[in-house]
């Protein structure tokens, strides 16, 4: 699964940096020195900004969607908080249990009788 996310990330980054003339289907005579990285980053930032503006204007047209998204966000954060508290409690409980066993119940060697036939 991590491979898929890494692949999507690097392909998305390549789509942002590489100009449309040099992508697949381009004419191929664009040199890498001709790429204006600043302009490409500006275009990517503008696209991200417009995505944010469009997402914010969605609440005006569909308020139920925003209520559902807020509910989903609250559920996710509370679930993560509960999971971290549970993991923290289990880790501290296991450490205390291990110390308790070592201090209160010393090990006694058990004799193993081998059966020889």
Q: What is the chain's pLDDT, residue by residue, as a tens digit (117 residues)?
A: 778 888 888 888 877 777 666 665 555 555 555 667 788 788 888 888 888 888 878 888 888 988 898 899 999 999 999 999 988 888 776 655 655 655 666 666 666 666 655
Cα 5 from Cα 94, distance rounded (Å)? 34
Whole-number pLDDT of residue 75: 94
Angular region, 25: left φ>0, alpha ψ -120 to 50, beta rest: left
On whether the CB atoms of residues 17 and 42 are closer than 8 A, the answer is no
For 66, the token pair is: 């925003």
Instruction: Return the axis-axis angle of helices 37-61 and 2-17, rounded to nearest 10°.
Output: 110
Whole-number pLDDT of residue 77: 94
Q: Give which of 53, 49, 55, 91 is closest to 70, Cα–Cα.
A: 55
């Amino acid at each position: 699964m991590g491979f898929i996310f890494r692949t999507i990330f690097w392909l998305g980054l390549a789509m942002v940096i590489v100009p449309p003339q040099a992508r697949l289907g381009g004419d191929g005579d664009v040199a890498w020195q001709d790429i204006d990285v600043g302009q490409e980053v500006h275009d990517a930032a503008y696209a991200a900004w417009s995505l944010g503006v469009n997402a914010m204007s969605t609440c005006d047209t569909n308020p139920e969607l925003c209520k559902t998204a807020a509910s989903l966000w609250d559920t996710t954060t509370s679930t993560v908080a509960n999971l971290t508290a549970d993991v923290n409690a289990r880790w501290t409980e296991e450490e205390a249990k291990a110390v308790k066993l070592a201090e209160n119940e010393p090990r006694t060697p058990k004799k193993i009788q081998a059966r020889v036939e």
